[in-house]
Amino acid sequence: MKKLLSHPLAKFLLNQYVLTGFSFALWMIFLDANNYFIHAELNQQIDAVEADIEFYESTLERDRELLKQLNTNPEAFETYARENFGMHKEGETITLIEFEDSSDE
């Protein structure tokens, strides 16, 4: 046992500063309130929120373009109202045909 403790690597690993540093690293990685696993989970949440932001920004840009088109082009406004809201001119009759396999969910 004495021979094992006299080895240079054993002396280094049993040094009080190395033991303290190793204990501190274990505490910070596994036991602390802000440990590695919590940080990984938070990073995943951040990535999800950034993806949502990107999606909503692209949707907003598409809607701005549509609004600009609807404000400048009366024919586009009429077409949009007919397609999306089922609006019709006076004297017209609109028949909506729904198929069983189509759904607006």
pLDDT tens profile 1-59:
777 777 787 777 788 888 899 999 888 888 888 888 899 999 999 999 999 999 999 99
Q: How far apart are CA 74 and CA 62, in angstroms?
A: 19
Give just the sign of the alpha carbon dihedral 46, 47, 50, 52: negative
Report pTM.
0.57
Most confidently modeled of 11-15, 61-65, 75-79, 84-88?
61-65
Burial 83-97 (b: 16+ CB within 10 A, else e): eeeeeeeeeeeeeee
